[in-house]
Structure 1
């Protein structure tokens, strides 16, 4: 079989299997709840791989290795060590309690969870609006996937972008959360295999001495704190901000709602172990940044490091074109595994948390919520497509600025609402969310902080401080009120 025929067969098999899994999911999707979080009948192993694939996506497989290529060990530690620590800490701390609160209240989206936890429609609406910032990440994924597809087939990036959009939206429109979970499991298994293969294949470039090989590229390149980097240069920018912002990113709607897929607490441990093991495999892709530098590749566009490396690395082997086809399809799958999750959560959120409250209705007519979710999905896709046609120069940083703002606003209200046994005061959640978002925007646009993770971390710290102060003030007021009532009753 020729390489060209193999390419067509592999892509055809991938498309057919994905659409078939979506059709299976569509048969289980009867209403907006099934479209958003399923019917509590998914295996925790499936949910775990789905979660890991959603967290990793194009950022880990295509974009972030470019930061490692440019900034070296400091970027690798920022994403692989600090970032992984933030991810697992968030899951260990929040999963059980968040799932239970969601089950008890019947929440199906993050703003819906916020409304039922805080009993504030205005706060819920605010969360629904700021969650639209997730569109920035949709743009990143579309651009990353279009680069890969245009490399795989002799078509323009615009045509690649169009075909990817049509494909992803066709299967998400069919099956919602089930299509997302089933296809992510299939895609996630592919991603695990390719991550390990590429890592092992390229390890030869270290020549048995990882540190020595990297030092040959420059003394600063091997340092955990890179003094020549404008993004990763000290403990705060490498470790602290990496941990905090990644922890906060787990508050995104397409990630946190996965916890609502779980049926009971018995499934949690299996879910966490699956997520951790799959995610660890995905992080191996960051080493591609090192391999590309050690191989001596001169890549002018940071976002194109992975595509350039795999093309250069495998084109010289007899079996190389076949491996390149499978790897390219897997990298596409990595992007789609997150893209479909974001689209499901965004469409459900717009309908459930924006349209329904303003329509004056308490519940949807039968089938109407599902129809509206699918219509909103089309609108979100067209908006993201328009931006992706002419993306910013560094689409990775563009996406981080938008999504990190959402994370800065979301962390404190969700963590307080999850961990505190009593309902936190609405004013605390409102103030923390507003301060987090505004402080992040000021850090980026006014103070000119280059690394969005650093700006978001400062914003989260300020948001946390505001929450602590308001909680103390509220506690003092309650104590004062209680003492006054005791004095009054004793008279």
Structure 2
């Protein structure tokens, strides 16, 4: 079988199997709860692989190796070491408490959890609205996927963008969370295999020693901090900011809401360790940035580093084209694995936290159930059209574009979720005005620093704003110390 025919057959098989898994998910999706978080019948290992795949996505597999290619060892430490510690700390510290509170209150989304925890519909609406900033990450993933498709098939990036959009929105539209989880498990296994293959196949670039190889590029390229970099130039930008922002990024709607999939407390440890192990493997993709640099490739566009490297390594020879197909499809799967999760979370959130509380009060329970599921799919299509418009002519550094929006959301979520889980509401009631203040400081502080005050690295600007919001809430707690806890929220269901 020639390589061209093999390419089309394996791609067709990938598409067919993805739609088959989505069909299985569709049969289990009967209402908004099933669409948003499933029916709590998925195992912890499946959820863990789904979580790791959602966290890694196009950023890890396509975009971040470009940062390593350009900025060297400091960028690697930023993403592989500090970021991984931030992820693991967030899960160990908060998973059990977040799941327990969410399960007891019947929460379907992050804003819904915040509503039940603090009893403020206004605060919940604020988070529902700013969660729409996740669309910037949808744009990043769509651009990354279009680059991969156009590198595999003789079509333009614009046509590739349309194909990527139609494909992912079609299967998510069918099965919601189940389609997302089932396809992510399939995609996650592919991602594990290809990550290990790429990592071990490029180790020959370090034959003379890891740091010696990096030193051959430049001394600063091999340094813990890179004074030549505008992003990773000191210990704060390399380590502290990465730890803090990645910790907070776990509060994104398509990530932390997966904790609500878990049925019982006994499954939490399996879920955490599955996520950690699989996520660590995915982090090996960052080495592709080193390999591309050491191979002497001159790549202008940061988001093209991975695709150019695999084309350089596997684009020729008798076996190379076959390997190239598998690698490209796996990188595409990495993007889809996060994209579908964001789409499910956003569509469920718009319906559950914006439409139903304010416009669905006159509906009967039966009407609400039917309306919620159908409306979530309409919202999904709308999000797709908006994302498509933004991705048609994307900004030059699409990775930084996505970080500006998503990091604002993370900075705003930091205090409300961290303190919402760790503070015992039966002993101390956090004042809602204080939580509002901390959220606004995190959100606005990041945007002001990044957009108007010259803090180029979004992780630095968001980390500074998070630290200020943290100090602010401690001051609020000290001021409110004599206010003992009363009822914190409502016993209202998530669709009321």
Calculate the TM-score normalised by the size of structure 1.
0.96
Instruction: Give the corresponding residue for 1:61.
Output: 61
Q: Which residue of 2 aligns with 1:324?
A: 324
User: In the aligned structure 2, how far is the partner of 1:360 from the partner of 1:305?
Assistant: 48
Matched with 1:404 is 407
Moved more, 175-184 or 416-425: 416-425
1:207 positional shift:
1.3
Partner of 1:180: 180
Does 2:381 match 1:378?
yes
For 2:276, the equivalent position in structure 1 comes to 276
The offset of 1:389, in angstroms, is 0.2
Q: Give 3-state SS (helix, strand or coil) of 2:202's partner.
A: helix
Q: Tell me the equivalent position of 2:49.
A: 49
After TM superposition, what 4+ stretches of structure 1 lie above 2 angstroms from structure 2?
362-366, 476-479
Q: 1:192 corresponds to which residue?
A: 192
Q: Does 1:437 align with 2:440?
A: no
Partner of 1:168: 168
Distance 2:121 2:31 in 1: 23
Counterpart in the other structure of 1:156: 156
State the match for 1:483 in structure 2.
Answer: none
Unaligned runs of 5+ in 2: 486-496
Q: Deviations over 1:184-227 (max 9, x none)?
A: 00000000000000000011011140000000100000001001
2:430 maps to what in 1? 424
Pairing 1:451–2:454 present: no
Query: What CA deviation, in whole Å up to 9, does each residue of 1:421-462 have, x standing for no partner?
Result: 114221121111011011011101111111000000001001
Three-state SS of the structure 2 residue aligned to 1:374 is helix
Q: Deviations over 1:377-415 (max 9, x none)?
A: 000000000000000000000000000000000010011
What is aligned with 1:295? 295
Deviation at 1:360, TM superposition (A): 4.6
Question: Is the Cα–Cα contact under 8 Å of residues 32 and 369 in structure 2 kept in the other structure?
Answer: no
Q: Secondary structure at the match of 2:281?
A: helix
Q: Structure 1 residues 313-322 or 95-104, which shifts more?
A: 313-322
Separation in structure 2 between the aligned mates of residue 367 and residue 334 of structure 1, nearest angstrom: 32
Tell me how far 1:315 sits from its aligned partner.
Answer: 1.8
SS in 2 for 1:254: coil
Please report how far the alpha carbon of residue 478 of structure 1 lies from its aligned counterpart in structure 2 after TM superposition. Answer: 5.9
How many residues are aligned here?
A: 479
Question: Is 1:257–2:257 an aligned residue pair?
Answer: yes
Distance in 2 (CA, whole Å) between partners of 1:295 and 1:305 is 12
Distance of 2:431 and 2:336 partners within structure 1: 38
The CA distance in 2 between the partners of 1:367 and 1:105, in whole Å, is: 22
CA contact (8 A) 2:360 2:368 kept: no
Describe the superposition over 1:119-162 as per-residue Cα deviations: whole angstroms up to 9, x where unpaired: 10000000000000000000000000000000000001110000
1:140 corresponding residue in structure 2:
140
CA distance in 2, matches of 1:399, 1:137: 5
Shift of 1:318: 1.5
Contact kept, 8 Å, 2:45 with 2:270, in 1: the verdict is yes
Displacement after TM superposition at 1:358 (Å): 1.3
| 1:391 paired to 2:397 | no
Q: Which residue of 2 aligns with 1:485?
A: none
CA RMSD of aligned residues (A): 1.1
The secondary structure found in structure 2 opposite 1:61 is helix
Structure 1 unaligned residues grouped into runs of 5+: 480-491
Alpha-carbon distance between aligned partners in 1 of 2:458 and 2:388, rounded to the nearest angstrom: 23
Q: Closer, same or farther in 2 for the Cα pair 1:478/1:181, shift >3 Å?
A: closer
Q: Partners in 2 of 1:212 and 1:316 — Cα distance?
A: 29
* d(CA) in 1 for partners of 2:207, 2:317: 20
Question: Quick one: distance in 2 between partners of 1:199 and 1:367?
Answer: 48
Matched, 1:474 2:489: no
Match of 1:89 in 2: 89
In 2, Cα distance between the equivalents of 1:446 and 1:459? 14
Tell me the SS of whatever aligns to 2:369. coil
1-structure distance, mates of 2:480, 2:198: 54
Distance apart, 1:365 and its partner CA: 2.5
Match of 1:308 in 2: 308
CA distance in 2, matches of 1:395, 1:258: 26
Task: Classify the secondary structure of the residue corresponding to 1:253.
Answer: coil
Matched, 1:369 2:372: yes
Find the aligned partners of 1:446 and 1:322 in 2 and give their Cα distance: 48
Provide the residue aligned with 2:204 in structure 1. 204
Q: Answer yes or no: is the 8 Å Cα contact 2:44–2:271 preserved in 1.
A: yes
Correspondence for 1:357: 357
Q: Distance in 2 between matches of 1:139 and 1:360?
A: 30
The 2-side partners of 1:433 and 1:378 are apart by 29
